[in-house]
Amino acid sequence: MRRKIIIILIIILVVLGIILLLLAKFLIPHTPKESVKSEETTLTSITIPGTNETKIPEGSESASRKEVNIHQDPFILARLFIERYGSYSTDSNSIYLEELLPLVSQSFKSVLLEKIQEIKENPPTEFYGQTTKIISFSEEEKDETQAKFKAQVMIEKTTGKKTEVSYEEGTITLVFEDGEWKVASCDF
C-alpha cells in the first residue's frame, strides 16, 4: 500500500512539473537573439511656444528626434490646443490659459484674456480640476487660409473628492495669420 502511494505521488509531481513547463513556455514571451532587429524610430517632439514644455512620445534610446513647428501643421495645433484648453486645475491659477496666448489669433486673444481676468478676479474656493482627452478628431474643411476640425472629447471633472466624466462634441477653427496657423475659435 505504501509503495502505491509513493508511485502515485511521483506521477502527480511529474504531471505538475510538465504543466509548469508548458505554462512557462506559453506565458513567458520568448524572443530568439538572432531574430531581434534594432529599428531606429523617429520621435516627433512638439514644443509649446512660451513654455519649456516639450511633448515627446515614448520610444527607444536609439530613436532620433524631429522637431515640428506646430504653427505649420493645423492638425497638430488643433489637437494640442483642445486638450490643453480643456485641461486645468485651480492649482494652476490660469497659467494654462496664458501659455496658450501665442497659439491664438488676434480676435480670439481678447476672449482668452477676458477668461484669464475672470479667473484672477473670482478664484475658486475649493479644488477643481478638469482633464480633456480627444476621443475622435476629424477635418471638416481646410484651405490655405482656414481650417475647421470636429472633435469628440471625454472630460473628467474633479471637485473636491467627487469625479464626473462627460462626453462632448465641438469644433475648433484655425486661421492662417502672419504666416502661421492660429486658433480663431474653440467651442469646448
Domain boundaries of the chain, sorted by first residue: 74-186
Considering only CA atoms, which of 124, 149, 131, 138 is closest in space to residue 85? 131
CB 134 within 8 A of CB 125: no
- What pLDDT digit, counting tens, does each position of 62-71 carry? 444 555 566 6
CB 188 within 8 A of CB 177: no
- What pLDDT digit, counting tens, does each position of 126-184 carry? 888 999 999 999 999 999 999 999 999 999 999 888 999 999 999 999 999 989 999 99
Is the torsion defined by CA of 61, 65, 71, 73 positive or negative? negative
Structure-model confidence comparison of residues 42 and 90, the more confident one: 90
Please, what is the average pLDDT of the chain? 81
Determine the CATH number of domain 74-186. 3.10.450.50
CB 186 within 8 A of CB 82: yes
- Calculate what percentage of the chain has a pLDDT beyond 90: 47
